[in-house]
Amino acid sequence: MTTQEIQSFADKHSLDVRPMNSHQHRLMGEYGDYILDVYFKKNKHGEVIKNSVLHWSTGKWHVIHDIKQLEKLLPNEKIN
C-alpha cells in the first residue's frame, strides 16, 4: 500500500493521518488517540514492498498487504 492509499483509507474512516517521517504514518482518532502506525519498507527505487502496522490498543505488529486487512485492525466503532 502506498501513502495515497493510506490517506484515502483514513478519509473514508474519519481518521487523521500524521506523517512521522518518510517511512511511518500515524492514524489517529477524532480525540487524538493513536489507532495505528503504518510503516513502509521501500526498495532502492522507492517502491513500497512491505507494510508493517503497529496496533496501539493491543501492542501487536501485523504485516498487511491490502486495505481489507487494514480495515480488520480498526476498532468496531470506526468501521463504516
With cut-offs at 50, 70 and 90, classify the pLDDT of residue 78.
low
The pTM for the full model equals 0.85
Q: What is the pLDDT of residues 17-56, one digit of tens each?
A: 999 998 999 999 989 999 999 999 999 998 888 999 999 9
> What is 19-71 written as a DSSP string?
EEETTEEEEE-TTS-EEEEEEEEE-TTS-EEEEEEEETTTTEEEEE-SHHHHH
User: How much of the chain is helix, strand and coil, in % rounded to 5?
Assistant: 20, 40, 35
Q: Which residue has the higher pLDDT, 35 or 80?
A: 35
Confidence (pLDDT) at 77: 52
Confidence (pLDDT) at 11: 95
